Structure formats: C-alpha cells, structure tokens
C-alpha cells in the first residue's frame, strides 16, 4: 500500500469518526463549553440582564462567601445530607438488597413493591410526603399520637426537615436495591461454603466474604450518592415551598430554604440569585462552586471505577 492511499484512508476514517461524533461535538460546544466560558466571565461582572455586564473584579466572589446569608447554611446542609442521607441510603439499600436475595416466596412481588417508590416523580413524591408528614392532619403523626409517641414538626421544623427529606430519599431506594442485588448474586457461593466450613458466624460471613466482593459497588453507590446530594434540588425546594404554604407555582418571590434555611442546597442558590434576585454575577459564582465540587467527586468516581473508561480497549 502506498503512503498516499494510507493517508487518504486515515483521513476518511477521521472524517467518519467526526461525522458519527458530530451531535455530541456540537452539543458539547454549544451547551457546555460556551456557557462555561460565559459563566466564568459573568462571575467577574455586575450583570442583571439589563444592559451589558460590567467588570467588577472579585466583588461577586467576596459577596457570596462573606455577605450572602444563604451560602454557608447551604454548604452545611449539603454536608449533613452527605453524611446522613447518603449513609442511610447506602446502608438501607444494601439491607433491602440482601433481604430480597433471601426471600424465597413471592420474591417477584416483593421486588416490585420495593422498587415502585423509586419511580414516583420527585414533585409528586415530595407532595405526598409533605402530606403524610403534615404535623396537623398527616397520617404519620396521627399514628404516632395513637401510639403515644411524640409527634415532630417534620417539614415545618428546622431540626426535622432534613430527617424528613432523608425518609423520602430512603423510600425511593429501588435503584440501589437493584444494583446491590445484582452484585450480591455475583458473589461466588464457594466462598460462603468455605467460610461455613471454617465455622464463620453470619456477621463474619458478611464482613469477610460479602463486603470485600461488593466493595466496588458500595464505593460506586457512595460517590454517586454524594454527587446526587450536591445536585439535590427539586425535593428540598418543593418540600420547603409546600410546607411553607406558598400559593401558586408562580410563587416566584418565595426564597427557598424553609424552615429557617434548613433545606437550602447549592443549586437552589443559583436559582435564588439568578432568577429571584437577578444577580447573574453572584449566581455564576455559586454555579462555579457547584461545578468544582461535582467535578472533584466525578474524578473520584472515575478513579475508583477505572473500568468505566478502559473497558473495550
């Protein structure tokens, strides 16, 4: 083969790759690169949508970190969600996954019932939980009162709103259950048999056989859980709005975080700054903080599960 035909062949294959990749290449440039560059630029400007952006140095950055009253509460909430909600979801998801592998009678029915809440649309599920946990008329507090137990204020009490959101998140555990179930069924049975011969207790079998085998999946669940916690938007916003009794979806002026900033998360700040206060510059600062956090954990995920990338090579 002459170098000439080789070169034209290579050019053809590059052209073919570009053609197949083109939807993504366009999408990536127009819907990611361009807005990212703009976001960085806006973060150094005063911009309210009227007139042109005016460069103002680090004003937005110092405002967000020192004067904007919602920034640090939202970071603290996110840390709480990472520590408590993610842990609860992983532990509960693993528990339900293990339970379902042990159920022999009616396994299909149980699986479907356990999985269904995961499918409930977030707005609908959140509305349902605000109703269920309504301190006045909700069935949960009715049952608690019946049992003579103290009835918390749930979504109307700053110290109970995040636990209530955690219950909602644990209710929709179906995705983790399926992933854990599949990985539990892949643990080689010989290892359990060997452990049994050695007289291992149930806990020892879990600790020394199950856990080492499924640890990559646990890591995957934890890291994706952390990323989801940072992106947490619809549920806390709706819960706060509905519990506060804001009238109308056009309740545009409602500042998120009810009660007492306890349900604030970073994405809600972008909405609050950009679309309620029309301070696009400061909104872009929060967007960049969110971006940095999301990418840091995505890098962790890719390192932990390198096979996501390398498979097929």
CB of 119 to another protein, least distance (A): 5
Residue 54 interacts with another protein (CB under 8 A)? no
Q: Segment 28-47, which members bind another protein (CB under 8 A)?
A: 28, 30-32, 34-36, 38-39, 42
Q: Which of 6, 7, 8, 27 binds another protein (CB under 8 A)?
A: 27
Rounded least distance, CB 227 to another protein, Å: 5
Cα separation, 243 vs 164, whole angstroms: 12
Question: Closest approach of Cβ 215 to another protein, in Å?
Answer: 13
Q: Does 55 bind another protein (CB under 8 A)?
A: no
Crossing angle (nearest 10°) for helices 107-119 and 174-185: 140
Q: Which of residues 200-219 bind another protein (CB under 8 A)?
A: 217
> Quick one: tokens of 223?
């890291």
Among 6, 7, 20, 196, binds another protein (CB under 8 A): 20
Q: How far is the CB of 33 from another protein (least distance, A)?
A: 10
List alpha helices for the chain, DSSP H.
3-28, 34-42, 59-62, 71-80, 87-102, 107-119, 122-132, 139-146, 161-171, 174-185, 189-197, 202-205, 211-231, 234-244, 266-271, 280-304, 307-310
> Which single residue is written with the structure tokens 């646990």?
218
Please classify residue 198 by burial: count the beta carbons closer than 10 Å to its beta carbon, then call 0-12 exposed, 13-18 middle and 19+ buried. exposed
Q: 141 near 155, Cβ under 8 Å?
A: no
- Which one among 93, 220, 225, 240 touches another protein, defined by CB under 8 A? 220
- From the CB of residue 313, how many other CB atoms can be counted at a distance below 10 Å? 5
Residue showing tokens 């938007």: 233
Question: For another protein, how many residues bind (rule: CB under 8 A)?
Answer: 116
Q: How far is the CB of 127 from another protein (least distance, A)?
A: 5
Q: Which stretch binds another protein (CB under 8 A): 73-81, 156-164, 204-212, 284-292?
A: 284-292
- Are 231 and 82 within 8 A, CB to CB? no
Applying CB under 8 A, does 137 fall inside the site for another protein? yes
Distance of closest approach, residue 158 Cβ to another protein, in angstroms: 22
**In this complex, which beta carbon is closest to another protein, that of residue 35 or of residue 69?**
35
**77-136 binders of another protein (CB under 8 A):** 96, 99-105, 107-108, 110-117, 119-125, 127-129, 131-132, 134
């Amino acid at each position: 083969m002459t170098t000439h035909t080789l070169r034209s062949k290579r050019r053809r294959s590059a052209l073919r790759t570009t053609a197949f990749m083109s939807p993504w290449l366009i999408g990536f440039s127009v819907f990611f690169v361009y807005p990212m560059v703009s976001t960085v630029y806006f973060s150094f400007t005063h911009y309210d949508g009227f007139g042109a952006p005016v460069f103002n140095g680090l004003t937005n950055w110092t405002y967000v970190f020192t004067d904007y009253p919602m920034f640090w509460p939202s970071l603290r909430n996110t840390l709480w969600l990472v520590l408590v909600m993610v842990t609860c979801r992983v532990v509960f998801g693993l528990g339900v996954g293990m339970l379902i592998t042990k159920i022999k009678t009616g396994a299909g029915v149980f699986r479907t019932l356990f999985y269904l809440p995961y499918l409930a649309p977030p707005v609908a599920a959140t509305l349902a939980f605000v109703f269920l946990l309504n301190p006045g008329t909700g069935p949960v507090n009715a049952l608690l009162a019946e049992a003579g137990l103290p009835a918390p204020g749930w979504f109307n009490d700053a110290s109970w709103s995040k636990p209530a959101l955690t219950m909602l998140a644990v209710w929709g555990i179906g995705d983790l259950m399926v992933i854990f179930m599949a990985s539990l069924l892949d643990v080689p049975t010989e290892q359990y048999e060997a452990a049994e011969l050695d007289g291992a207790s149930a806990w020892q079998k879990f600790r020394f056989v199950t856990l080492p085998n499924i640890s990559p999946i646990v890591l995957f669940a934890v890291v994706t859980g952390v990323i989801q916690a940072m992106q947490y938007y619809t549920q806390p916003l709706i819960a706060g709005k509905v519990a506060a009794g804001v009238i109308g979806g056009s309740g545009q002026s409602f500042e998120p975080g009810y009660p007492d900033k306890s349900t604030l998360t970073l994405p809600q700040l972008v909405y609050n700054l950009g679309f309620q206060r029309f301070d696009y510059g400061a909104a872009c600062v929060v967007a960049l903080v969110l971006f940095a956090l999301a990418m840091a954990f995505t890098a962790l995920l890719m390192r932990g599960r390198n096979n996501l990338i390398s498979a097929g090579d």
